[in-house]
């Protein structure tokens, strides 16, 4: 309907390019191939049958920086965000003809896998509130998420070595219970864990406003018309950092900067058009499926979101001049000083090129913006070559951004039936793993990078294949 001519062969070629699979990654390769060949039936049609609906315009992130990513738009964004998907799945469970056979136990902390006669026969643990012990018998499916949450100890332990030391501040954008406890238990009984050093972190994290959790992070969708600066006010690059290109590259480059954090410099006009949040708490029109309100925000800007973030987020400062902005940035971040003259010169150079017009753009960020705007789905979300220090677009805005932990790309190795494999490659009877716990399939279906949109999809895919294998 949208005129996008995709094929499984092209999707798989893009997947392999972006993943950079390593020798011996047989199961991740097989899972990737399974995904692209069965995603319509196993994921899209299955969700659609449960009344999950998608935005009419397909999103196009991860186009690649030095490696080809998505050759075409592929990311189908669900109405209602993850909140809406959970509602749809729960509704399906409640209406299932065999609903009486399902019992859901909340607040149970599984701490041990039980083995008997060479097979996994159950699990044991304690109730979160009382500490009372419990045991449960039967086939075990590990669906406990990844290792990028908890106290972030696992993130630091398995930090990608080529990036150097992990940043002093990493914000937690995962779940408090995504702590890797069950990964340890699977490993203790002989299960094979692979690619634990591969993570899908985000570059634009801020402290979650008013959260009681330590280092709780909120993931911003980085505005593409903003300038990405280091701790001293110098533009990062070349090439300059731009969202929607290569998330892994963004994280890697910021980790090489002073302080291992960054600033994005923009203004009110850019903020209301391009600033977004990955999560349902702030994207209220999207979560509540209010189509007219969302259309209004696309056409005229999301002033409510921008204003709320400015009011609530401690990592955002505003000003009416570059000098004042630099002073507020330095008051917020005392460990590294922004050079006001350098910041002003970087902004002036960028704005001067915009003033010369698109025919004379040589700045890589502006050339990418030109390319983004050729796709109608991006034209709706992008300013038209907006200068930063524009008196008609104030206030100026600076956002201090930290690396935000999100998803584990590696995990428990599984075959195509989601059976957990031991270190010799044999399945462990009675034990399965799905979703992020299994590196979204095979212990690393995405390799080093994700094309995006495939995390939820692979949770559905692995869950359904595990259910079929268990049911026989």
Could you read off the pLDDT of 322-346 as tens digits, one per residue?
A: 999 999 999 999 899 999 999 999 9
312 and 455 inside one domain = no
393 and 415 inside one domain = no
359 and 376 inside one domain = yes
Domain CATH for 309: 3.90.700.10
Q: What letter does residue 41 receive in the DSSP assignment? A: I
- Residue 435's pLDDT band (boundaries 50, 70, 90)? very high
Average pLDDT, the chain: 97
Residue carrying the six token digits 């600066």: 229
115-140 as b/e: b if 16+ CB within 10 A: beeeebbbbebbeeeeeeeeeeeeeb
Within a domain: residue 429?
Answer: yes
- In the predicted structure, residue 11 carries a pLDDT above the cut 90: yes
346 and 388 inside one domain = yes
Within a domain: residue 422?
Answer: yes
Domain CATH for 32: 3.50.50.60
Could you read off the pLDDT of 129-177 as tens digits, one per residue?
A: 999 999 999 999 999 999 999 999 999 999 999 999 999 999 999 999 9
Q: What is the mean pLDDT of residues 372-392?
A: 97
Could you read off the pLDDT of 454-468 as tens digits, one per residue?
A: 999 999 999 999 999
- Residue 370's pLDDT band (boundaries 50, 70, 90)? very high
Within a domain: residue 3?
Answer: no
- In the predicted structure, residue 179 carries a pLDDT above the cut 90: yes
- In the predicted structure, residue 394 carries a pLDDT above the cut 90: yes
Q: What is the mean pLDDT of residues 444-453?
A: 97
Instruction: Count how many domains the chain has.
Output: 2
- Residue 285's pLDDT band (boundaries 50, 70, 90)? confident
241 and 352 inside one domain = yes
Q: How many CA atoms lie within 13 A of 24 on its CB side?
A: 5
- In the predicted structure, residue 283 carries a pLDDT above the cut 90: no
Burial class of residue 56 (count of CB atoms within 10 Å of its CB; 0-12, 13-18, 19+): exposed
Within a domain: residue 210?
Answer: no
Q: What is the mean pLDDT of residues 187-193?
A: 98
- Residue 248's pLDDT band (boundaries 50, 70, 90)? very high
Helix (H, G, I), strand (E, B) or coil at 221: strand
> For residue 376, how many other CB atoms are within 10 A of its CB?
11
- pTM of the full predicted structure? 0.96
Domain boundary among 346, 370, 401: 401
Write out the residue range of the structural domain in which residue 440 sits: 8-200+405-471
150-156 contacts at long range (C-beta below 8 A, 24 or more positions apart): 150/174, 150/176, 150/177, 150/178, 150/179, 150/180, 151/179, 152/215, 152/405, 153/179, 154/179, 154/180, 154/183, 154/196, 155/199, 155/405
Backbone angles phi, psi at 431, to 5 degrees: -130, 125
- In the predicted structure, residue 1 carries a pLDDT above the cut 80: no
Segment (H or E) for 82: helix 81-94
Domain boundary among 340, 367, 401: 401
Q: What is the mean pLDDT of residues 393-416?
A: 99
Domain boundary among 339, 370, 401: 401
In the chain the first and final C-alpha atoms are separated, in Å, by: 37
Within a domain: residue 277?
Answer: yes
CB 199 within 8 A of CB 255: no
Q: What is the mean pLDDT of residues 193-201?
A: 98
């Amino acid at each position: 309907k949208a005129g996008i001519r995709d094929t499984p062969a092209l999707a798989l070629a893009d997947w392999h390019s972006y993943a950079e699979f390593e020798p011996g990654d047989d199961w991740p390769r097989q899972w990737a191939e399974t995904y692209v060949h069965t995603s319509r039936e196993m994921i899209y049609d299955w969700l659609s049958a449960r009344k999950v609906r998608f935005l009419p315009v397909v999103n196009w992130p991860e186009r690649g920086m030095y490696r080809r990513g998505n050759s075409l738009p592929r990311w189908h964004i669900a109405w209602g965000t993850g909140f809406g998907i959970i509602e749809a799945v729960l509704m399906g469970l409640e209406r299932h003809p065999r609903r009486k056979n399902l019992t859901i136990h909340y607040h149970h902390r599984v701490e041990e896998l039980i083995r008997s006669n060479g097979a996994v026969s159950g699990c044991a643990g304690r109730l979160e509130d009382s500490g009372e012990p419990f045991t449960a018998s039967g086939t075990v499916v590990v669906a406990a998420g990844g290792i990028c949450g908890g106290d972030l100890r696992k993130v630091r332990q398995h930090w990608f070595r080529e990036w150097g030391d992990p940043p002093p501040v990493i914000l937690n954008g995962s779940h408090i219970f995504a702590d890797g406890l069950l990964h340890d238990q699977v490993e203790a009984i002989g299960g094979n864990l692979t690619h634990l050093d591969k993570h899908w972190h985000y570059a634009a994290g801020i402290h979650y406003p008013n959260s009681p959790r330590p280092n709780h992070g909120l993931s911003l969708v980085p505005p593409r018309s903003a300038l990405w600066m280091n701790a001293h006010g110098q533009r990062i690059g070349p090439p300059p950092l731009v969202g929607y290109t290569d998330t892994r590259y963004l994280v890697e480059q910021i980790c090489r900067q002073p302080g291992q954090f960054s600033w994005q410099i923009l203004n009110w006009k850019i903020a209301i058009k391009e600033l977004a949040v990955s999560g349902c708490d702030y994207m209220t029109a999207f979560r509540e499926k209010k189509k007219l309100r969302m259309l209004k925000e696309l056409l005229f800007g999301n002033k409510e979101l921008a204003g709320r973030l400015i009011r609530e987020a401690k990592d955002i400062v505003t000003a009416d001049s570059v000098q004042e902005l630099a002073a507020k940035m330095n008051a917020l971040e005392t460990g590294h000083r922004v050079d006001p003259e350098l910041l002003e010169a970087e902004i002036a150079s960028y704005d001067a090129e915009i003033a010369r017009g698109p025919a004379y753009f040589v700045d890589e960020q502006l050339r990418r913006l030109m390319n983004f705007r050729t796709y109608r789905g991006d034209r709706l979300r992008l300013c038209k070559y907006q200068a930063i220090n524009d008196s008609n677009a104030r206030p100026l805005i600076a956002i201090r951004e930290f690396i935000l932990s999100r998803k584990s790309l590696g995990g428990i190795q599984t075959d195509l039936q989601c059976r957990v494999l031991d270190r010799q490659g044999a399945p462990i009877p009675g034990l399965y793993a799905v979703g992020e716990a299994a590196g979204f399939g095979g212990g690393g279906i995405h390799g080093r990078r994700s094309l995006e949109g495939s995390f939820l999809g692979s949770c559905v895919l692995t869950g359904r294949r595990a259910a079929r294998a268990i049911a026989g």
